[in-house]
């Protein structure tokens, strides 16, 4: 990757997007900045429009240069040269004003056009397919990393960048699969936060909504696990695709329902904190009965298991007593038989 320190776009508001655009499209700073500005800071749209030929900005017209006024001697010299050139050539020039000779259509030109037509169609088709795939998958694929590394990257980023927030959250430290397993085992709600660092509302959403005392109190009162991921990483990309969510920032409430884990609520966008907490509380209230049913079923199962164990222990104790009684009776019978045998002199 090229070093971007010291470029002319260091102070540009889209500096990071310009550098990414340069790496993808292999263009210079000025063209990259113009394409990003034309797309209003949307990297994906800028790349797609550039590859399709729609987003290449027109070169700006140069300001007219000031022409100095000729002197009297220069005017006389130009008139003499003009008269001389007109007498030397009586044949008018066929070169157009733009300096480009006009091309005459011929059979060879038509043959060349027909011959190159399939190649032009193939190039256009490949370009359109690439643009469609780029827009479908949201840009470049994330780097291949382990889920544990992606989770640790997200936590480090949040703890470092937002270290001055009102109330830091206790994020689940393991992978998405482990978070689901813990939510299933402990019969608790799991709140998934999809973090998009390039979204314009992300920083405000974290500072003014997530990392606040009211939001933390809501999590603690309802016993909710919270797990987050960066959608730019491999783990975050897979989770976003699995949950069918592409709007950010996004919160998804997951819990056990009908003996399986299900996403019971999705909240996307930057909503006021009061509305956000009210919607989440409503989602918890509507699905708490499913968790209560599972807890009651588990409690009943544990009660039945305990009663069964107690019965088995009582049966084992009774069986041991019967065995002792049987052994004692056999011992007495054996002694009685020994006493009845005649004694020899």
CATH code, domain carrying 244: 3.40.30.10
Q: Say how far apart CA 255 and CA 286 lie, in whole Å.
A: 11
The answer to whether residue 266 is domain-embedded is yes
Distance of alpha carbon 101 from the chain centroid: 54
SS3 265: strand
The answer to whether residue 242 is domain-embedded is yes
How many Cα atoms are found within 13 Å in the side-chain-facing hemisphere of 310? 6
Residues 297-307 have a mean pLDDT of 84
> 107-156 pLDDT, tens per residue?
676 677 677 777 766 776 776 676 666 555 545 454 568 899 999 999 98
Final residue before a domain boundary, out of 257, 275, 296: 296
Cβ proximity of 232 and 248 under 8 Å: no
Structure tokens that stand for 87 in this block:
């007498």
**Average pLDDT value over all residues in the chain:** 77
Q: Are residues 46 and 151 in the same domain?
A: no
Residue 195 has pLDDT above 80, yes or no: yes
Residue 74 has pLDDT above 70, yes or no: no
Query: pLDDT value at position 97?
Result: 30
The answer to whether residue 130 is domain-embedded is no
Instruction: Kindly indicate the confidence band of residue 103, based on its pLDDT and cuts at 50, 70 and 90.
Output: very low
Query: pLDDT value at position 132?
Result: 60
What is the span of the domain harbouring residue 35? 15-51
Q: Are residues 285 and 163 in the same domain?
A: yes
Residues 250-274 have a mean pLDDT of 92
Q: Say how far apart CA 55 and CA 36 lie, in whole Å.
A: 9
Sheet holding 250-257, edge to edge: 225-230, 190-195, 250-257, 260-268
Q: 139 or 54: which carries more pLDDT confidence?
A: 54
The answer to whether residue 331 is domain-embedded is no
The answer to whether residue 4 is domain-embedded is no
Q: Say how far apart CA 280 and CA 243 lie, in whole Å.
A: 17
Q: Say how far apart CA 175 and CA 145 lie, in whole Å.
A: 13
Cβ proximity of 131 and 49 under 8 Å: no
The answer to whether residue 246 is domain-embedded is yes
Residue 322 has pLDDT above 90, yes or no: no
Q: Say how far apart CA 153 and CA 161 lie, in whole Å.
A: 12
Q: Are residues 161 and 276 in the same domain?
A: yes
Structurally, the chain folds into a number of domains equal to 2
Residue 55 has pLDDT above 60, yes or no: no
Cβ proximity of 39 and 14 under 8 Å: no
Residues 299-317 have a mean pLDDT of 85
Distance of alpha carbon 2 from the chain centroid: 25
Name the least confident of 36-40, 101-105, 277-281: 101-105
What sign results for the dihedral spanned by CA atoms 277, 280, 281, 282? Answer: positive
Q: Say how far apart CA 133 and CA 126 lie, in whole Å.
A: 10
Name the least confident of 64-78, 107-121, 188-202: 64-78
Residue 187 has pLDDT above 90, yes or no: yes
What percentage of the chain has pLDDT greater than the value 90? 32
Q: Say how far apart CA 128 and CA 288 lie, in whole Å.
A: 49
Query: pLDDT value at position 267?
Result: 94
Residue 303 has pLDDT above 90, yes or no: no
The answer to whether residue 325 is domain-embedded is no
Residue 3 has pLDDT above 50, yes or no: no
Q: Say how far apart CA 205 and CA 119 lie, in whole Å.
A: 50
Q: At what angle do helices 273-340 and 213-222 cross, to 10 degrees?
A: 30
Q: Are residues 47 and 184 in the same domain?
A: no
Instruction: Kindly indicate the confidence band of residue 291, based on its pLDDT and cuts at 50, 70 and 90.
Output: very high
SS3 47: helix
Q: 10 or 312: which carries more pLDDT confidence?
A: 312
The answer to whether residue 192 is domain-embedded is yes
Cβ proximity of 140 and 24 under 8 Å: yes
Instruction: Kindly indicate the confidence band of residue 91, based on its pLDDT and cuts at 50, 70 and 90.
Output: very low
């Amino acid at each position: 990757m090229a070093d971007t320190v010291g470029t002319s776009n260091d102070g540009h508001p889209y500096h990071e997007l310009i550098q990414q655009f340069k790496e993808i499209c292999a263009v210079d700073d000025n063209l990259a900045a113009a394409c990003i500005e034309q797309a209003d800071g949307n990297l994906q749209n800028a790349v797609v429009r550039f590859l399709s030929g729609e987003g290449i900005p027109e070169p700006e017209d140069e300001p007219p240069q000031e022409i100095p006024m000729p002197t009297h001697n220069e005017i006389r010299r130009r008139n003499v040269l003009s008269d001389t050139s007109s007498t030397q050539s009586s044949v008018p020039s066929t070169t157009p004003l733009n300096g480009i000779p006009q091309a005459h259509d011929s059979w060879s030109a038509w043959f060349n056009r027909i011959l190159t037509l399939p190649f032009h169609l193939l190039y256009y088709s490949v370009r359109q397919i690439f643009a469609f795939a780029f827009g479908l998958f949201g840009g470049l694929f994330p780097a291949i990393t382990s889920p544990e590394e992606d989770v640790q990257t997200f936590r480090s980023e949040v703890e470092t960048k937002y270290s001055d927030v009102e109330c830091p959250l206790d994020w689940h430290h393991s992978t998405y699969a482990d978070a689901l397993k813990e939510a299933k085992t402990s019969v608790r709600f799991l709140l998934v936060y999809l973090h998009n660092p390039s979204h314009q509302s992300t920083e405000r959403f974290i500072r003014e909504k997530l990392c606040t005392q009211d939001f933390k109190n809501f999590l603690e009162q309802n016993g909710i696990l919270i797990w987050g991921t960066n959608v730019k990483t491999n783990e975050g990309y897979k989770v976003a695709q699995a949950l069918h969510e592409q709007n950010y920032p996004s919160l998804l409430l997951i819990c056990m329902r009908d003996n399986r884990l299900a996403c019971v609520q999705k909240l996307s966008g930057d909503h006021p904190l009061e509305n956000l907490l009210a919607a989440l509380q409503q989602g918890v209230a509507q699905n708490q009965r499913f968790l209560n049913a599972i807890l009651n079923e588990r409690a009943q199962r544990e009660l039945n298991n305990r009663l069964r164990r107690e019965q088995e222990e009582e049966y084992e104790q009774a069986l041991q007593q019967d065995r002792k009684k049987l052994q004692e009776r056999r011992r007495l019978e054996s002694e009685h038989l020994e006493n009845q045998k005649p004694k020899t002199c």
